[in-house]
Amino acid sequence: MGSITKRDRSFWPKVVQDFFGTENPFDWDEKNWFPAKSFEVPSCNVIENEKEFKLEMSAPGFEKKDFKVEVSDGILHISAEKENKVEEEKENYRKKEFSYSSIRRSFSLPEYVKDDGIDAKYENGILHVVVPKKSVESTKPKKAITVG
């Protein structure tokens, strides 16, 4: 087998295009023949009650240290990145593999939340984020006035 020519390099993106019915489903970096770095948008449940918002984000395969939770200009940013490396050496071969996982999600926060009271915990593949609400002072009940 000879070396790969420039004409041959266009073969794989064309095969992918024909198979998937789209021009570039993996966002190919044609210089390197690898998909460009991308991220996944995880599913999330948002539960609201009188005292707080609770977010339950599906993120299996990550660890607590992989997460970054920040608030900036009224927006809650949640992200996680993980890189896995596997190296194996045997008598007649050497194997080296790696994979990269990344998730990101952002939420606009209402004005009536406490930015400084946000809490996050990761358990069993789910990131739990609690966003407390500011306490609203109760107002006097409405009083009906009869018009005379």
| Mean pLDDT, residues 76-85 | 90
Read off φ and ψ for residue 65, nearest 5 degrees. Answer: -70, -15
More confident of the two residues 33 and 136: 136
62 contact partners, CB below 8 Å, separation of at least 6: 80, 82, 101, 103, 122, 125
| Mean pLDDT, residues 20-32 | 50
Buried b (16+ CB within 10 A) or exposed e, 104-113: ebebebeeeb
Whole-structure pTM value: 0.61
More confident of the two residues 144 and 18: 144
- In angstroms, the Cα distances linking 82 to 2, 21, 86, 115, 136 are 37, 30, 13, 27, 40
Residue 1: pLDDT above 50? no
